Structure 1
Amino acid sequence: MTNFGLAGGEVVLQQEVTRPTFWQIGPVGEAMFYFLAAVTVVWFLWGVYDRFARYSAGKPDHAARLDDLPGRIARAAKVVFTNEKQFNRDFVGGVMHAFILWGFLTLLIGTTILAIDMDIWTKLLGQESFFTGAFYLSYSLVMDAMGLLFVVGVGVALYRRYGLRMERLWDRHNSWEDAFLVWSLFLLGVGGYVVEGLRILGTEFPTHETVSFVGYFVALVFQGVGMNPEMATFVYPAAWWSHALLAFGFIVAVPMAKPFHMISSFANVVTNDDKAGKRLPGIPLDLDHTNAEDVDDFSWKEMLDQDACTKCGRCSSVCPAKASGRPLDPRNVILDLKSYRESLDAGETDSKPIVADGGSGVIDTETMESCMACMACMDACPVDIEHLSSFTRMNRQMTDEGALKPSIQDMFQNVMQKGNTFGDPNRKRADWTEDLSFDVTDAREEPVDYLWYVGDYPSFDDRNKAVARSLATIFEAADVDVGILYDDEVYDGNDVRRVGEEFLFLEQAGTLVESFEACEFDTLVCTDPHSYNTFKNEYPEIDFEELADDPMMEFDVEGFWNQRGEIDVLHYTQVVQELVQAGNLPLSGTELDYTVTYHDPCHLGRFNDEYEAPRDLVRATGCDLHEMPRNRANSYCCGGGGGGLWMDLEEEEKPSEERLREALEDTEAGPAVEKFVVACPMCLTMYEDGRKTGGFEEDIEIVGLSELIAEAIEARDVTVGSSESASESATTADD
């Protein structure tokens, strides 16, 4: 595009600062382009509609997924556009995805702006093009710069997938769509620069096109290898159409293949339940309810989870069950369900059980038994897939069919008959108090500030009884008004729910809540993080009115319990931290001098974001605390959750053994670590076992945090006593 002007009395040719659209394409080509674009858009819209319409066949979801929709969209936009979850445990992956996302969005926005100018502003509205001058220069600079980041990002993705062959990116669900996504994006990015370079060379390097620095460089490369403007002009239409058809093909593939994750992942983040995993969905009480007999038993959100999966393998890479050699791979479970649903919809396969033994179902029972319910997969997932909801649904189906291991069924029987997982008479629940030099208040008989739910393992397991006694000693030293339920305490039901026995969980909850309501107290304090999570996040959601007419539910509770949080529910580390900070336990921070490391329990840390209280308490004892590489939200499960405590599973290496190896080899202190500190009775049990089976008995000691604090209190008392004796002796000598 040119115009004429005067300079020193001479007529000179000036180039307008813009670029020709549909250069060398012609009217017929332009018409064909618009026809194909219309078909592509219609195909895209219909395909996306069809994908989302399929979710309507799923069951309603338990959670309110669309409440405060503007706020949800804003949160999802923050998560997606900042790429914050992509940086979790993988900085390079985060940078790579940010380059791809922002480069892609910039190119998409730039193409849209160009379409508005060509098709609406000039042709439809008859206005003069705004694609000129300073706007065009700014546009070209931004598009070239962001397009370069896009190509670099996709290039890194190609290198990680095909050069490094990162293990987590390859599995049996890899298919043509994975290669199509990454290669089509790369070719679109590179192809755009090829087309731009040919145009710049064909128009003989307009001066203002230097702002398109990548395209200008490509044009110089073409010129350097012998291409002249005439050749570039001749080749340009073929390159342009190749680029356009690839773009149309990519758009058509969006609702059909992996590119759909660009839509489904955002929708998944929008509909996320921020308490997913820490609270499990309830089930209808009607006898016709089925949990996972067929694919449409899954909720619409669980189907969306399946479609949102990008096969990135982050969940699999952090799964302790997979790392231990168990048959669980969280990604493959989600993708197996998706593949089965799609094959049914396409009529390509016959119906079969969702979960069954010996490979006869979509998912094998042993796979689901392997899950530790640690929620590491959900924490690592960048698109908020809620694995535990689907896993629990299948566990409930296994329970319905009696397909659980005998050891788990024995545990169920113990809980039903005795009220605890050990099968011991429940009247012995408080026998651990007999070795104390003081009495523990019976909360059934008098009001207390703190009602202490001791839990099964601290009540019946010999090793964990020491934890209960040490915590009682701490409360006594702090002069805390605390009481227990004695033999009215029963198992809280956390793990039976995660294994799939929902009705037994409800029975235990009702029995316990009935006991809670018969007592006067302000705060409920728990020894076990599993109990803490259940009381805090799950009990308040149970509508006990619905259970009132069930003859199996032998308790008298009306409505909800603690639905509005009238009662504080705390883990003991939070309570003891408050006592130390308030001066009730005046530890100087010099009582002990052990070198220690601390293990974050899943249900305290990853489930409920409590990381500081235990660490503050370790430091308050004077111990030298060294963090393990996998700590806080990245902590590695002990292997006891999800019923693992009661199952003997084949493992290449127990999670507890791997964790102790990490403590002794990968911490900064290495073999100098003397004590492995835990704040969970189940963790204590699993690590004591791993210490024996892994051959670490001579290398490290497993201690409960309450035991460490009790030892510090004793050391303080000895020091204070010695100081007082010395003072008295000095006074006597002076006299």
Structure 2
Amino acid sequence: MVAEGTVTRPTFWGIGHLGKIAFYLLAVVTILVFAYGVYRRVDRYTAGQADWFDRLDDLPHRIVSSARIVLSNKKLFDRDTAGGLMHAFILWGFLTLLIGTTILAIDMDVYQPITGLVGTEQSFFVGDFYLSYSFVMDTMGLLFVVGVGVALYRRYAARKWRLHGKHTSLEDDLFIWALFLLGVGGYLTEGLRILGTGFPEFETVSFVGWFVAEVLAIAGMTQMTAEAIYPAVWWSHSLLAFAFIAAIPFGKPFHMLSSYANIVTRDEKAGARLPGIPADLDADTGAESIDDFSWKEILDQDACTKCGRCSSACPAETSGRPLDPRDVILDLKRYREDLDAGETEEVDIVADGGESVVAAETMESCMACMACMDACPVDIEHLKSFTRMNRQLTDQGDVDSNVQDTFDNIMGMGNTFGDPPEERAAWSEELDFDVTDAREEDVEYLWYVGDYPSYDERNKQVARSLAKILEHADVEYGILFEDEKYDGNDIRRLGEEFLYVDLAGYHVEKFEEVDPEKIICTDPHSYNTFKNEYPEVEYEDFADEPLMQFEFDGEWNQDGEIDVLHWTQAVEEMVEDGRLGLRGNELDVTVTYHDPCHLGRYNDEYEAPRELIRATGATLAEMPRNRNESFCCGGGGGGLWMDIDEESKPSEERMREALEDTEAGDAVEKFVVACPMCMTMYEDGMKTGGYEDDIEIVDVAELLVDAIESGPGIEATSTSGATGQAD
């Protein structure tokens, strides 16, 4: 028992003995309903397919690192500082109130009964502890109410567009208003208690509750009235809290649990590497039914908070293509839940025509840029589900005709252009030196040139520029000539998995024969798949398959013994070593730089190209959307090969941004890229957007050559590193 006059508060003030019994009965029912709802969710996940990636390895580290991510709200501050603060206030306030309620329950239901059994019943909810507790609870509760108030303003007054969509429903309204009423109701209950108990002096620490009590008193409420209506308000607040807790597993509030679980089970390389497939050609690798999705993909669906951050970051959505990544994830969720509840019939998950959950044109619109995944605060792996559906489209033959032509070109000629393999190194014939054949001589750097630098006229100039740089640096490098084929990165994201594995096995055999110290890639797409995906392929499972063109049955580069680099990373090291002889003042030109998705968001490389640009003396003016917020050129995910009807090409929008939104404005003379696909897309966007007279598209390699030729002269370079070009 707590002695009269003790610095504390009566927990069940005015409720009565029967009220206490009813409260505890309702608490038990609430917990049981909550537990049952969570059980149903978890049971549904177990019905999903096994995930290819071990998502529970080193679980203690995963739990701690995920808690750090969630509690810091760091992903929520990206792209939206106000939204980050709002969510931080709500999260920290809610957790504090939850912890505070738990502490009170421990005192009432554990500590007091135990002390009563062994002696005199005592409470720690008194004195300085109580005063500190009350101050912290009022402070953090106020942050909670302010945060929810900002959320209400953004949703209903500011009408922030990304918070509304086809899946916006009454559930969203109930969720946000329940939080607001819980916060405000807590202070109203506290204010009535302070007024009803005659304003105990020590309760000034509960400054918000004290303020509410004073407002009520000024409004004419007496101490007796407050005491009379307190039980009704207390019960209203308690019942709302019980209803909210019980409802958590059955609606949007579940994201408070599923989001954290989703972050715990995340793949740090999600998107950059995709799930493999069984070697069995008859294996189901797509999305024939909702049961084909893995448990993690189902968890992704449940973790979605409908915040729309992925929608606002998606270049396809911005360009008017029929893709909103949030809607795709939520379409799958709604279909699954309706099917489980018997409220809908089974339809195709994805198809070109007819009734389906997701239309083929929606998946064709995806650029595989990973902007959605980078923007998502709860680590939903959109690209993994999208690729599953693309595999289904490929299995069904529902692929874009231009994409099918590309598949045929690769199968027939080994490249996306359909040109003869023997012409692959023809670009090098205009050089004043010979390029080493890596098949005949040992080289330090095996240079994978790639399709576009080999066959596309504009990108051939980039290949020649890079060859001049490597030659000037006097390093041992070579290429595979006609033995090089397409790397497979983008067709894999389009769903053509077996052709991808065939290309991977073929190249790994070639790499093993050459045995280079380092592999450098012109194209970030090649760099990504060599670095992140080739080491993941189970070559042994496919080596005996008659349709595969390789026999390699081992592991490749799983320990990173071969250093795989984008060429800018390798050349940055050469610049640091002084191999290019740059002084850093060769060029007097203002440029802007576009971060390629596969170099930036995929592989977190942002600085190497910028260091090379600065090494030329050029002035770099950043576009507003740079680094991880870079706006995709539109060429990824097969976009380069498709004719897509869109309101405005992503490349045109990026040109406009470079000239109008960059601080340097129209003083920007050159638009610098580091990706052959970006070069192709922006050359097109410059023409269709009418920017030909305003800006020039150049590769970082071309900028470097300009700087080198402005110095001592590239013609004087030693060519001792080259020994002869293959026929």
- Secondary structure of the residue aligned to 2:478 is strand
Q: Which residue of 2 aligns with 1:439?
A: 434
Q: Which residue of 2 aligns with 1:277?
A: 271
Aligned ranges 1:552-701 → 2 under 5 Å: 552-701=547-696
Q: Residue 555 of structure 1: CA displacement? A: 1.4
Gaps of 5+ in 2: 717-727
Distance 1:377 1:82 in 2: 21
Q: Residue 15 of structure 1: CA displacement? A: 2.7
Q: Which residue of 2 aligns with 1:61?
A: 51
- Secondary structure of the residue aligned to 1:702 is strand
Q: Which residue of 1 aligns with 2:12?
A: 22
Aligned pair partner of 1:305 in 283, 286, 300: 300
**TM-score when normalising by structure 2:** 0.97
Question: Is the Cα–Cα contact under 8 Å of residues 588 and 617 in structure 2 kept in the other structure?
Answer: yes
Distance 1:404 1:713 in 2: 45
Which amino acid is 2:33 matched to? W
Q: Which residue of 1 aligns with 2:24?
A: 34
205-214 or 352-361: bigger deviation: 352-361
Distance 2:509 2:287 in 1: 32
Q: Residue 359 of structure 1: CA displacement? A: 5.7
Which amino acid is 2:181 matched to? L
Q: Residue 16 of structure 1: CA displacement? A: 1.8
Q: Which residue of 1 aligns with 2:543?
A: 548
Which amino acid is 2:163 matched to? L
2:97 equivalent to 1:107: yes
- Secondary structure of the residue aligned to 2:636 is coil
Q: Deviations over 1:555-614 (max 9, x none)?
A: 121211111111000000011111110011110111111110000000001111111110
Q: Which residue of 1 aligns with 2:724?
A: none
Q: Residue 62 of structure 1: CA displacement? A: 1.0
Distance 2:356 2:372 in 1: 23
Structure 1 runs, 4 residues or longer, greater than 2 Å off: 717-721
Aligned pair partner of 2:218 in 224, 227, 239: 224
Cα–Cα, structure 1 residues 131 and 477, in superposed 2: closer, same or farther, change >3 Å?
A: same
Distance 2:411 2:534 in 1: 19
Distance 2:520 2:238 in 1: 64
Cα–Cα, structure 1 residues 488 and 100, in superposed 2: closer, same or farther, change >3 Å?
A: same
- Secondary structure of the residue aligned to 1:254 is helix
Which amino acid is 1:98 matched to? A
Distance 2:646 2:529 in 1: 28
546-555 or 184-193: bigger deviation: 546-555
| Larger Cα-atom Rg | 1
Which amino acid is 1:323 matched to? T
Q: Deviations over 1:627-665 (max 9, x none)?
A: 000000110100000000000101100000000100000
Question: Is the Cα–Cα contact under 8 Å of residues 436 and 478 in structure 2 kept in the other structure?
Answer: yes
Q: Which residue of 1 aligns with 2:195?
A: 201
516-525 or 710-719: bigger deviation: 710-719
Which amino acid is 2:69 matched to? V
Q: Which residue of 2 aligns with 1:730?
A: none
Distance 1:89 1:154 in 2: 20
Q: Residue 517 of structure 1: CA displacement? A: 1.2
How many residue pairs get aligned? The number is 711
- Secondary structure of the residue aligned to 1:395 is helix
Which amino acid is 1:43 matched to? V
Q: Deviations over 1:487-525 (max 9, x none)?
A: 000000011100000000011111111111111321000
Q: Which has the higher contact order (CA 8 A, sep 6+)?
A: 2
Aligned ranges 1:137-536 → 2 under 5 Å: 137-286=131-280, 287-358=282-353, 360-536=355-531
Q: Which residue of 2 aligns with 1:728?
A: none
Q: Which residue of 2 aligns with 1:88?
A: 78
605-614 or 388-397: bigger deviation: 605-614
Distance 1:257 1:472 in 2: 58
Question: Is the Cα–Cα contact under 8 Å of residues 285 and 391 in structure 2 kept in the other structure?
Answer: no
Q: Deviations over 1:389-425 (max 9, x none)?
A: 0000000000000000110000000000000000000
Distance 2:275 2:605 in 1: 23
Cα–Cα, structure 1 residues 226 and 398, in superposed 2: closer, same or farther, change >3 Å?
A: same
Q: Which residue of 1 aligns with 2:698?
A: 703
Q: Deviations over 1:9-38 (max 9, x none)?
A: xxxxx8321111111110011100000000
Which amino acid is 1:657 matched to? E
Distance 1:95 1:209 in 2: 29
Q: Residue 288 of structure 1: CA displacement? A: 3.6
Q: Deviations over 1:530-550 (max 9, x none)?
A: 000000000001121111221
359-368 or 69-78: bigger deviation: 359-368
Question: Is the Cα–Cα contact under 8 Å of residues 443 and 520 in structure 1 kept in the other structure?
Answer: no
Q: Residue 2 of structure 1: CA displacement? A: 9.0
**TM-score when normalising by structure 1:** 0.96
Q: Residue 285 of structure 1: CA displacement? A: 2.3
Aligned pair partner of 2:533 in 534, 538, 553: 538
Distance 1:554 1:701 in 2: 42
Q: Which residue of 2 aligns with 1:7?
A: none
Q: Residue 718 of structure 1: CA displacement? A: 4.8
